[in-house]
Amino acid sequence: MKLVNPANKRRHTLIVVGSGLAGASAAATLGELGYHVSCFCFQDSPRRAHSIAAQGGINAAKNYQNDGDSVYRLFYDTVKGGDFRAREANVYRLAQISVNIIDQCVAQGVPFAREYGGTLANRSFGGAQVSRTFYARGQTGQQLLLGAYQALERQVQAGTVTMYPRTEMLDLIVIDGRARGIVTRNLVTGEVDTHLGDAVILGTGGYGNVFYLSTNAKGSNVTAIWRAHKRGALFANPCYTQIHPTCIPVSGDYQSKLTLMSESLRNDGRIWVPMKKGDKRTPDQIPETDRDYYLERRYPSFGNLVPRDVASRNAKYVCDEGRGVGETGLGVYLDFGDAIRRLGRKAIEERYGNLFDMYQRITDEDPYTVPMRIYPAIHYTMGGLWVDYHLMSTIPGLFVIGEANFSDHGANRLGASALMQGLSDGYFIVPYTVGDYLATNKLDKVAETHSEIRNAVACVQQTVQKLLGINGKRTVDSFHRELGKIVWEYCGMSRNAQGLETAIEEIRSLREEYWQNVKVPGSGDDFNQSLEKAGRVADFFELAELMCVDALERNESCGGHFREEYQTADGEAQRDDEEFSYVAAWGYRGYGNREDLSKEPLEFQYVHPSQRSYK
Amino acid sequence: MRIKLKIWRQKSRNASGRFVSYPVENVNPDMSMLECLDVLNEQLIQQGEDPVAFEHDCREGICGSCGFMVNGVAHGPLPATTVCQLTMRHFNDGNELVLEPWRARAFPLIKDLVVDRRSFDRIIAAGGYISVSTGSAPDGNAIPVPKEAADRAMDAAACIGCGACVAACPNASAALFTGAKMTHLGILPQGKPERDVRAIRMVAQMNEEGFGGCTNIGECTGVCPKEIPLEVIAAMNRDYFRASWRERDNVVTTIRPFTEWSTGSKLQVDPPSGR
């Protein structure tokens, strides 16, 4: 890999969009190396990025527990957990880097949990039989993000990074086939601006909010990567979405988001439903003999720690059978009774205290005495912009990191791996690969008056004016909610061909209505939160269709993509490696047109694809 | 249930503001305060009025975006709870709730309930970090950290930077926020080498931003959604005084006053770039 001469680094301006784990760590590291970095986020501060909400932990193959962990095992678990739909080479690199991430974060002062001897503590997570997850109470994401944020602010102080908060990227500037800048809108003044550079790095997160109800922050959106997609970057595996098994069930129509309870709870909590359908007794009235600990029964070796897709699907099955709990019947119990009897209330408080408090605040029930009720919810999206081994998209000079790319998790992400991937991409991969790109390509200076720039700015202004001018009858949220219901119904936990076709029809007609009948109040010249949402929802509409098209094309079940037509006799996902062992990368062909499919074949040299078994 | 919301409406920083009352029908007790505002905003948009601007993102109490005064209390009446997790079951049918933005000189208003809290970022930029560039870290277990120290650091590190402490303080002081970061980093062995310089720079920046001085009233810790203890302010003061003494030959401290109001002159500490 080529290097950029230290004296030349400061001559390059790099644009980083997003300030979560991936974006902040990349911006900070590139700043440390001496590049001039402009970093953008739509929130009021880079510290608000949604990485902050990750609870459980971060994996690393340290083998501090002497339980047989290794780089190879983490690699193996991740490839298998992703249901053999990830690129081996990327995953191996991720596993190698995992150990450096922990070192870096410890040095930054991330207050990881410690043993009494002062060494780092670990916990177990789904999909693994070793204890390799590092954590800071139930706030691991917060602490890792604050570490990256502090590193970023240090570079702001040093003058290498310029931070642009409350600034949203609305288009990508591509000149002579290369990414050379972005068009932004200042969310306070409404000003549309351009920022030019030698490379653009997107770390803008996932698109789970296409479902309206998800565990994502309200502001999380697909706009940055979608608009890059419309400028030519291929979008890979959009149908791979992850449903998290342990969220607080929906309670009413007004609901604006779903709250996740960390998967780490499955370490000590036992999941069950009543044996009998429609058993309305309170949980303490249901004796052991009338309880079905269905995960322990079906998967004796992994039990409650099966991967997320398996746990979610099984919760759906038991609820579909009419054995769900709570008022809506869409919930299962997560019971800490045994753990409290075994370890004492204090130990449980220490491990999960803040999660229990949060549950109680929301539901008004005490999880120390009454089992929690949980239900799956959309949590993470494995799909994203296609990138090569250098994390560069199909547009040269456009790099995509963290959840925004598709690279490492295949069809299903294991717990505690998102933080690992975000930081790996940001601290340790993209700072090298961007350097290689700059060193191997001659980039001419771009004139500020270039026609592509004027064109991109006009495009952005047009969309803003169009949204404001419709002045219809329905609010943005009402459309978003309806879109979310369609996608959840037909492209959620399980999918079938007929449903997906219906979904495509419904999405198209709702999208037509959106452009005729949405009502966006206010103007484009000031702080207008409805306008922000309107642009994002417009992009979700287009993405939603592509997700369904991708899900329809993939005639197999794998990981988070479960097609009802393709399952084993006992209801497990059935892959078709002959036909579908590839990455589906879609190319935009204009509004409303079917996208072009390219296939990147997946080759497995080390981990032989097998039927994933957690029994 | 029915709730009356009396909300501070102000179009922009320079416009004048006023309270406007809105009745909200069909409030579900399981709704959060923010979901109640969502419902109101949907109504306002339908009626062709400008919806209420309020900051929010994660809606699970961790991002620190949300926050406003509810009946004069930052984040409302429930201890250790941000407004996004404050459910309406804590109010009674027919209650009137007065919602106001954080009011502090260092948090200029943007619109309605939204304020600009970039001053917090600048306090962190001044020294709220450990200077370790990527790649230069020793093995994670090479630095043993006593469990008690890790736990205490974590207690302080839990701060979400929402600004409630400033809003609740009669002096609009940022001492709890600043003290929390200094405590988090100062307790850990990794943070020791820069402890003095961190104290001096962060305190200087805090003063420069126009936050008031701390007079140990304790309102801040009372409203803090993460229950950051008051002792972080004591730790900040101790670190600051110790650092001032040790660094007395360094011009940064001795010729510069502890607070701006004690001399009436503005501090001249190296201004952070990128502002």
Q: Give the model's confidence band at A464: pLDDT under 50 very low, under 70 low, under 90 confident, else very high.
A: very high
Residue B269 has pLDDT above 70, yes or no: no
The verdict on a CB contact (< 8 Å) between A103 and B55 is no
Minimal C-alpha gap between B211 and chain A (Å): 18
pLDDT in tens, A58-86: 999 999 999 999 999 999 999 999 999 99
Say if the Cβ atoms of B136 and A165 lie within 8 Å: no
Q: Do residue B140 and residue A106 have CB atoms under 8 angstroms apart?
A: yes
Nearest CA in chain A to B40: A254
Report ipTM for this prediction. 0.95
pLDDT at A264: 83
Are A244-377 and A453-587 the same fold in CATH?
no
Average pLDDT over residues A548-554: 98
CB contact under 8 A, A361 and B160: no
The model's pLDDT over B224-237, given as tens digits with 9 standing for 90+, comes to: 999 999 999 999 99
Query: How many C-beta atoms lie closer than 10 Å to residue A439's C-beta?
Result: 14
Of A153, A357, A530, the CB nearest to B121: A153
| Residues B87 and A254: beta-carbon distance below 8 Å | no
| B20-32 pLDDT, tens digit each | 999 999 999 999 9
User: Backbone dihedral region of A34: left (phi > 0), alpha (psi from -120 to 50 degrees) or beta?
Assistant: left
Q: Which residue stretches of A474-557 are H helix?
A: 476-491, 497-517, 529-553
For residues B97 and B170, state if they share a domain: no
> Is B269 inside any structural domain?
no
Looking at residue A121, the DSSP 8-state letter turns out to be P
Assign A586 to helix, strand or coil: strand
Which residues pair with residue A335 across a beta bridge?
A: A270
Q: What is the pLDDT of residue B250?
A: 64
Which residues of chain A have a CB within 8 Å of the CB of B154?
A: 111, 136-137, 139, 143
Asked if A52 and A216 count as a contact pair (C-beta separation under 8 A), the reply is: no
Q: How many domains does chain B have?
A: 2
pLDDT band at A592 (very low <50, low <70, confident <90, very high): very high
- Identify whether residues B85 and B147 lie together within a single domain: no
Largest separation between any pair of C-alpha atoms in chain A = 75
Mutate to test the interface with A, among B32, B34, B36, B62 (most CBs of A within 10 A): B62
A244-377, what's its fold?
A: Flavocytochrome C3; Chain A, domain 1 (3.90.700)
Beta-bridge mates of residue A600: A583
Predicted local confidence at residue A202, as pLDDT: 98
Q: What is the domain range of residue B206?
A: 118-262
- Say whether pLDDT at A263 is over 50: yes
The residues that bridge with B6 in the sheet, in sequence order, are B21, B98
Q: Please report the pLDDT score of residue B25 as a whole number.
A: 94
- pLDDT band (50, 70, 90) for residue A203: very high
Same domain, B38 and B91: yes
The H or E element that residue A49 is part of is: none
B273/A136 CB distance under 8 A: no
pLDDT digit string, tens, across residues A364-418: 999 999 999 999 999 999 999 999 999 999 999 999 999 999 989 999 999 899 9
C-alpha closest to that of A19 among A52, A44, A49? A49
Taking CA–CA distances from B205, the nearest residue in chain A reads A157
**What integer pLDDT is reported at residue A515 of this predicted model?**
98
* Residue scoring higher pLDDT (B173 or A611): B173
DSSP H/E element including B207: helix B195-208
A550–chain B nearest CA distance, Å: 29
Spatial neighbors of A523 by CB under 8 A, at least 6 apart, are A190, A468
Instruction: Estimate the crossing angle of helix A430-440 against helix A21-33, to 10 degrees.
Output: 50
pLDDT of residue B252: 52
Are B104 and B125 contained in the same domain? no
User: Do the beta carbons of residue A155 and residue A28 sit within 8 Å?
Assistant: yes
Taking CA atoms, A504 is separated from A359, A510, A548, in Å, by: 36, 10, 7
B202 lies in a domain? yes
Give me the sign of the Cα torsion angle A567, A569, A575, A577: negative
pLDDT above 50 (res B257): no
Disruptive mutation site among B42, B75, B134 for chain A (greatest number of A CBs within 10 Å): B134
- The yes-or-no verdict on residue B258 having pLDDT over 80 is no
Q: At what angle do helices B175-187 and B118-127 cross, to 10 degrees?
A: 30
pLDDT band at A353 (very low <50, low <70, confident <90, very high): confident
Per the model's pLDDT, the better-predicted residue between A361 and A231 turns out to be: A231
Give residue-wise pLDDT tens across range B135-164.
999 999 999 999 999 999 999 999 999 999
Is residue B272 in a domain?
Answer: no
Whichever domain contains B252, its CATH number is 1.10.1060.10
The Cα A400–Cα A179 span in angstroms is 12
Local confidence band at A570 (pLDDT 50, 70, 90 cut-offs): confident
B166 lies in the same domain as B75: no
Q: Is A527–B124 a contact, with Cβ atoms under 8 angstroms apart? A: no
The yes-or-no verdict on residue B273 having pLDDT over 80 is no
Within 10 A of A205 (CB to CB), how many other CB atoms are there?
Answer: 31
| Contacts with A541 (C-beta within 8 Å, 6 or more apart), sequence order | A483, A507, A510, A511, A514
Whether residue B102 is found in the same domain as residue B122: no
Tell whether B200 is covered by a domain: yes
**pLDDT tens for each residue of B94-142:** 999 999 999 999 999 999 999 999 999 999 999 999 999 999 999 999 9
- pLDDT of A557 > 60? The answer is yes
Q: What is the pLDDT of residue B249?
A: 67
Same domain for B14 and B122, yes or no, is no
Q: Is the CB of residue A563 less than 8 Å from the CB of residue A599?
A: no
**Looking at this protein, which amino acid is placed at residue A175?**
I
Of B84, B109, B134, which residue constitutes the final position of a domain?
B109
> Which amino acid would we find at residue B129?
Y
Contact between A508 and A545 (Cβ < 8 Å): yes
pLDDT at A290: 96
Structure tokens at A17: 């969009």
Predicted pLDDT of residue B274: 41
Domain ranges across chain A: 244-377, 453-587
Best mutation target among A98, A529, A536 (most B Cβ atoms within 10 Å) is A529
Instruction: Looking at the structure, tell me whether residues B178 and B256 fall in a common domain.
Output: yes
In a domain, B23, yes or no: yes
Task: From B109, B140, B167, give the residue that closes a domain.
Answer: B109
CA distance A346 to A360: 17
The domain boundary residue, chosen from B52, B84, B109: B109
| Structure tokens belonging to residue A307 | 């991967």
Cβ–Cβ of A136/B118 closer than 8 Å?
no
In-domain check, residue B135:
yes
Q: How far is A538 from chain B (nearest CA, A)?
A: 18
What CATH number should be reported for the domain whose range is A453-587? 1.20.58.100
* For range A219-227, the mean pLDDT: 98
Distance (Å, whole) CA B102 – CA B6: 15
CATH number at residue B40: 3.10.20.30
* CB–CB contact B274 A156 (8 Å): yes
* Burial class, A590, CB count within 10 angstroms (exposed 0-12 / middle 13-18 / buried 19+): exposed
State the residue for tokens 């002096």: B171
Residue B270 lies in a domain: no
Q: Which amino acid is at A389?
A: Y
Please check the confidence at residue B267 and state whether its pLDDT lies above 60. Answer: no
CB pairs < 8 Å spanning A and B: 229
d(CA A224, CA A209): 14
In a domain? residue B271: no
Instruction: Report chain A's mean pLDDT, rounded to a whole number.
Output: 96
pLDDT of residue B253: 46
> Do residues B125 and B231 both lie within one domain?
yes
Rounded CA-CA distance A22/A20 in Å is 5
Give residue B49's pLDDT band: very low, low, confident or very high (50, 70, 90): very high
CA distance A200 to A396: 10
Percent of chain B clearing pLDDT 90 (strictly above): 88
- Test B140 with A62 for CB contact under 8 angstroms: yes
According to the model, what pLDDT value does residue B246 have? Answer: 86
Mark yes or no for CB contact B38/A256 under 8 Å: yes
Bin A40: left if φ > 0, else alpha if -120 < ψ < 50, else beta.
beta
CB-based contacts of B56: which residues, under 8 Å, 6+ apart?
A218, B34, B65, B66, B84
| Residue B187 and residue B103 share a domain | no
B98 and B143, same domain (yes or no): no
Other Cβ atoms less than 10 A from the Cβ of B6: the count is: 14
Parallel, antiparallel, or unpaired: how do β-strands A291-292 and A270-274 relate? antiparallel
Q: Could you say which of A52, A255, A364 has the minimum Cβ distance to residue B63?
A: A52
Contacts (Cβ under 8 Å, ≥6 apart) of A559: A82, A83, A85, A240, A309, A382, A410, A411, A412, A573
pLDDT for B262 = 44
Rounded average pLDDT over A357-368: 92
